[in-house]
Amino acid sequence: MKTTFKIIAGNLHEYDSNGKEIHFKDSDGFEYWREYGSKGNSIHLKDSSGVESWREFDSNGNLIHFKDSDGYERWAEHDSNGKLIHFKNSNGVESWFDSNRNRITKKQFDKLKSSCDGKKYQLKLI
């Protein structure tokens, strides 16, 4: 695979043969590396401080799972048109959305108890 290099504002950028940035290094020595999946989405990022993140996408290119090396995760579901309908993260936040992307319910949980935002909701699947 052929790569190209560019120096922009004193920073080194390395690109793969598809023009996707795969490596970056700034003048202070901070750098990161990026990997892409078969559909061109960024699926893995690692930086010089040791922080990493991973991403998964569905067949339509929607981000459905994100995880980082600090333990944070988030999940998303989309309808057949690619609109977000459900979101959940490892901090205990969970939301549902209608077809216009209006949040119809939100839950937030902690490790000791679960609670809702005090309103009653009727979940209607469309």
Alpha-carbon gap, residue 26 to 42, rounded angstroms: 20
- Would you tell me how many other CB atoms lie within 10 Å of the CB of residue 99? 10
Alpha-carbon gap, residue 92 to 4, rounded angstroms: 42
Q: What's this model's pTM, rounded to 2 decimal places? A: 0.74
Q: 7: which strand partners?
A: 12
Alpha-carbon gap, residue 111 to 73, rounded angstroms: 16
pLDDT in tens, 34-82: 999 999 999 999 999 999 999 999 999 999 999 999 999 999 999 999 9
Alpha-carbon gap, residue 54 to 13, rounded angstroms: 21
